[in-house]
Amino acid sequence: MKTCTHFRAIKKGTPHILACDCQHDWKAKPIPSANTLSHLMILHLMILHLMILHLMILHLMILRMIKVRA
């Protein structure tokens, strides 16, 4: 049964948080690292941004259609 104390020692000074979530130790529950959480947040924000842009474009198109008809 291994623990990842050596990973912790190596990656203390580095900006990214531990990549080791004890996959070899099945009894210990893997803790989601801040890296994966931030990646998910960035993806979520990007998707929201794209959705908002899409809605804005649709809105402009609809407005143009109304202007053309009137």
**Domains: count for the chain:** 2
Model pLDDT for residues 13-62, shown as the tens digit of each residue: 544 444 444 444 444 555 666 678 788 888 999 999 999 999 999 999 99
Distance CA 27, CA 13 (A): 28
Q: What letter would DSSP give residue 31?
A: P
Q: Which domain holds residue 20?
A: 1-30
Say what the pTM is. 0.39
CB 31 within 8 A of CB 21: yes
Q: Are residues 42 and 68 in the same domain?
A: yes
What pLDDT does residue 19 have?
A: 47
Closest by CA position to 54, among listed 42, 44, 66, 46: 46
26 and 36, same domain (yes or no): no
